[in-house]
């Protein structure tokens, strides 16, 4: 694993956490507290893939496939973490 890949992985996790929190806040302000936890994460993934696709293009055509592959694993890890936290909080509240 190269330093570039490690940086992309760590950056993907940071982007997943920050953008899902931002979009979660925006969606809760727009639609109320009934927004499921996975929706902001999905919106953040699409946002990162579109932005990354144009960023990876380097002056050429957008490379959305590379961006989707780059962000898939970090977003899956964050989704699993959020799911486990959701289950733990649901179990405590029951």
Q: What is the pLDDT of residues 53-77, one digit of tens each?
A: 999 998 899 999 999 999 999 999 9
> What's the pLDDT at 90?
81
CB atoms within 10 A of CB 75: 24
Domain range summary for the chain, segments of one domain joined by +: 3-93
Q: What is the pLDDT of residues 13-40, one digit of tens each?
A: 999 999 999 999 999 999 998 899 899 9
Predicted TM-score (pTM) of this structure? 0.88
Compute, in degrees rounded to 10, the torsion defined by CA atoms 60, 64, 69, 70: 60
Is the CB of residue 20 less than 8 Å from the CB of residue 40? yes
Residue length, the chain? Answer: 94
With a cut of 70, say whether residue 1 has pLDDT above it: yes
């Amino acid at each position: 694993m190269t330093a570039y890949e490690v940086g992309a992985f760590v950056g993907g996790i940071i982007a997943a956490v920050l953008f899902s929190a931002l979009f979660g806040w925006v969606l809760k302000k727009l639609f109320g507290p009934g927004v499921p936890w996975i929706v902001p994460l999905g919106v953040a993934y699409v946002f990162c893939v579109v932005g990354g696709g144009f960023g990876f293009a380097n002056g050429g055509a957008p490379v959305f496939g590379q961006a989707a592959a780059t962000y898939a694993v970090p977003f899956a890890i964050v989704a699993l973490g959020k799911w486990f936290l959701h289950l733990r909080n649901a179990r405590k509240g029951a």
